Amino acid sequence: MSLSRTTREDSPKSWAIENSENLYRIEGWGQPYFSINAAGHVTVSPKGERGGSLDLFELVNALKLRNLGLPLLIRFSDILEDRIERLNACFAKAIARYNYPGAYKGVYPVKCNQQRHLLEDLVRFGKPHQFGLEAGSKPEMMIALALLDTPGALLICNGYKDREYIETAMLASRLGQTPLIVLEQIEEVQLCIEASRQLGIKPILGIRAKLSTQGVGRWGSSTGDRAKFGLTIPEIIQAVQELRDADLLGCLQLLHFHIGSQISAINVIKDAIQEASKIYVELAHLGADMKYLDVGGGLGVDYDGSQTNFYASKNYNMQNYANDIVAELKEACAEHNLPVPTLISESGRAIASHQSVLIFDVLGTSDVPSGAPEPPQEGESAIIRYLWETYQSINEENFQELYHDAAQFKEEAISRFNLGILRLTERARAERLYWACCEKILAITRKQEYVPDELEDLEKIMASIYYINLSVFQSAPDCWAIDQLFPIMPIHRLDEEPTRRAILADLTCDSDGKIDRFIDLRDVKSVLELHNLKPGEPYYLGMFLNGAYQEIMGNLHNLFGDTNAVHIQLTPKAYKIEHVVKGDTMTEVLGYVQYDSEDLIEQIRRLCEQALLDKRITIQESQRLLQNYEQSLSRYTYLSS
């Protein structure tokens, strides 16, 4: 690769790797897994501080040689392992620090990423810590039951349950599993009582409480009396009564709560634990044989690296989180002379986000015209002269006022065009001059400390559009659905100044299929700094921290299917490709909507035959058409570069 050579020629201003680090905030969100090397490429250290790293750009090139085209999802199983180690280490440290006379036994919520290879890795990596699984539905419980083979690890059974779900979970204890059945609906109490009687099994039961502690942000409504899941306090009392009447109160051993995902503020977590620990103590006083407290999910990921309580960040770290849980429980139990519970957490996002990176290429760009415009010609409309004069007069004092003038003249040019007074070529000249004014004003505002509100959109208006070989709906649905922010940056040319400011437009023909919100230290940026494309050279972008929730929520909008995915594991000398999961072909995607590719080919063949008979097509043309059609069906749904 001759990138570093061309760099020197292209960017006269000096641009160091540190400039890219600051610009893309990679240290903030990427540590300890992602950084930039001297070649200006993103590197991955899948084992965190424990050593070994890979050049991501070179890895992508090597994978492309193995026919793994972009877009490509790369999973680093070592990162997954590191996340599990880290979470368990934080709880171990907190337990030691506070002399907590109990244990931590985490579980992974399957809904966060259900891919088989990932779950198999996770169960394996979790063995030393008796790390278990949490199922949020019947199908997830079926997976968890089959996959979890760690003695002593917990199988938390959440979600809506029918009799079959409950019986299966109870019988799982006969297979050596430790299923904990969490009562989420008051009706489930009787179902459990009946199943227990019939099977003669004393299950471990839990209660999911609706806390009054209100989460904040996107999932704030996951708690409170009107939350979708869990029992209200009166219902908890009713459940205790029903279990006591059935002589099963001893089975009630767990209290569970979940206050929503991506909790940005530590005080919300503290409040919830405080409330839950009080309920826990009371349940023990009511006669339940309390042994477990499950704090649910919510442990946040710092997507923008700002360490704040902004929704894309969090103002605490994993150790603070563990400390608060351990300390609060120890105190609450000591106060009432109760043995402390085994602590359970159900962190999904914090475990699965970092392990995958989505790599995609840029297909092309489009810009508003830039550069110096032509002065007005003899005989051109007065409006063009006004715009020219405005353009010429713009300076640091008057830019705000002249921005309004330019906008007004452009509006006027359009109304004159609509009245038939202005010709199309003149309208083009007027619009060109307007863009030139905007460009000049934007250059001034970028140097200002304070940008007037009305000029804030200028950056967006003047942004380049980078067309990306990706479907946001398939690969980053939360960007579209809930305005989630993921760090996005080029994975190479980072020793070169990115001189363009761009928004990203995806392959779908949906105007929502774009990304125009990017992480920033303060709030959100509306444009992303990117490099000029070089003819004949690919330009790769990476989307990071997207290993949680995106894959399964992705949809087939415009029939773009699953991307290629590959599992990479670090070896002492290099890396090995553990699994390759080929993305959908067109035949597969069309099958989801009930088209049979053989039928489709047959239909095209028939049309070709008729066209040949009618002499509307030559035999060569029809051959070419059929060949393209058949080939496309067996190929990737994305564009090949």
Ligand X SMILES: *Cc1c(COP(=O)(O)O)cnc(C)c1O
Size of the site for ligand X (CB under 6 A): 19
- Please state, in angstroms and as integers, the Cα–Cα distance from residue 471 to each residue in 71, 334, 634, following that order: 9, 54, 19
Q: Which is nearer to ligand X, 113 or 150 (CB)?
A: 113
Q: Does 347 bind ligand X (CB under 6 A)?
A: yes
Which residue in 148, 299, 491, 515 binds ligand X (CB under 6 A)? 299
Q: Is 83 in the site for ligand X (CB under 6 A)?
A: no
Three-state DSSP state, 329: helix
Q: Is 48 annotated as a binding residue?
A: no
Least CB distance from residue 520 to ligand X, whole Å? 23
Binding residue for ligand X (CB under 6 A) from 46, 179, 296, 554? 296
Per rule CB under 6 A, is residue 106 in the interface with ligand X? Answer: no
268 labelled binding-site residue: no
We find the least distance from the C-beta atom of residue 430 to ligand X, in angstroms, to be: 52
Is there binding between residue 542 and ligand X (CB under 6 A)? no
Please tell me whether residue 498 binds ligand X under the rule CB under 6 A.
Answer: no
Q: Which residues contact 193 (CB under 8 A, 6 or more apart)?
A: 242, 243, 246, 248
Q: Report in angstroms the alpha-carbon separations of 11 from 134, 385, 499.
A: 52, 36, 9
Cβ proximity to ligand X, 112 vs 192, nearer residue: 112
Has 225 been labeled as part of a binding site?
no
Task: Kindly state whether residue 298 participates in binding ligand X, applying the rule CB under 6 A.
Answer: yes
- Residue 441 binding ligand X, by CB under 6 A: no
Stretch that binds ligand X, among 73-81, 104-112, 273-281, 443-451 (CB under 6 A): 104-112
Minimum gap (Å) between residue 294 Cβ and ligand X: 8
The yes or no reply on residue 133 touching ligand X (CB under 6 A) is: no
| 379 in a known ligand binding site | no
158 in contact with ligand X (CB under 6 A): yes
- Least distance in angstroms from the C-beta of 140 to ligand X: 11
The reply on whether position 206 binds ligand X by CB under 6 A is: no
The answer to whether residue 568 forms part of the interface with ligand X (CB under 6 A) is: no
Q: Is 298 annotated as a binding residue?
A: yes
In the bound state with ligand X, the residue whose beta carbon lies nearer, of 223 and 277, is: 223
> Which residues are registered as beta bridge partners of 540?
361
Name the residue nearer to ligand X (CB basis): 208 or 410. 208
354 is a site residue for ligand X (CB under 6 A) = no
Residues paired with 135 in a beta bridge: 157
Sign of the CA dihedral with 392 first, then 396, 398, and 399 last: positive
Nearest approach, Cβ of 29 to ligand X (angstroms)? 17
Determine if residue 102 is labeled as part of a ligand binding site. Answer: no
Give the CA-trace dihedral at 85, 90, 96, 102, to 10 degrees: -80
**33, two tokens:** 């897994």
> Site mask, ligand X, residues 305-344, x = CB under 6 A?
----------------------------------------
Q: List b or e across 455-472, with b for residues whose CB sees 16 or more CB atoms inside 10 angstroms.
A: beebbeebbbbbbbbbbb
Nearest approach, Cβ of residue 299 and ligand X (Å): 5
Strands annotated E in 259-355: 292-294, 342-344
State the Cα–Cα distance between residues 192 and 173, nearest whole angstrom: 14
Stretch that binds ligand X, among 278-286, 292-300, 571-579, 592-600 (CB under 6 A): 292-300
**Please, what is the minimum distance in Å from the beta carbon of residue 219 to ligand X?**
8
Structure tokens at 89: 């280490």
Inter-CA distances, 262 with 84, 204, 563, Å: 18, 29, 26
How far, in Å, are 85, 147, 320 from residue 127 at the CA level?
11, 12, 24
**Amino acid in position 548:** A
Q: Which of 66, 65, 61, 5 is nearest to 538 (CA)?
A: 61
Copy the structure tokens of residue 635: 């190929």
The answer to whether 472 touches 480, Cβ cutoff 8 Å, is: yes
Q: Is 348 in the site for ligand X (CB under 6 A)?
A: yes
**Residue 396 to residue 441: CA distance in whole angstroms:** 8
- Interaction of residue 563 with ligand X, rule CB under 6 A: no
Question: Quick check: 136 binds ligand X (CB under 6 A)?
Answer: yes
Paired tokens of 328: 């609060």
- Residue 230 in contact with ligand X, rule: CB under 6 A: no
* 109: contact with ligand X by CB under 6 A: yes
Q: Is 107 annotated as a binding residue?
A: no
Cβ distance to ligand X smaller for residue 135 or 590: 135
* Site for ligand X contains 637 (CB under 6 A): no
Q: Cβ 55 to ligand X, closest distance in Å? A: 30
Give the residue at shortest CB distance from ligand X: 297
CA distance 171 to 203: 9
Q: Evaluate the CA torsion angle 433, 435, 436, 442 in order and state its sign.
A: positive
- Start-to-end C-alpha separation, the chain: 18
3-state DSSP of 269-294 = HHHHHHHHHHHHHHHHHCCCCCCEEE
Distance CA 376, CA 387 (A): 9
Among 78, 81, 328, 346, binds ligand X (CB under 6 A): 346
Site string for ligand X, 252-291 (x = CB under 6 A): ------x--xx-----------------------------
Q: Per the annotation, where are the binding residues?
A: 293-303
Q: Which residues bind ligand X (CB under 6 A)?
A: 109, 111-112, 134, 136, 158, 258, 261-262, 296-299, 346-350, 548
Q: Per the annotation, where are the binding residues for substrate?
A: 293-303
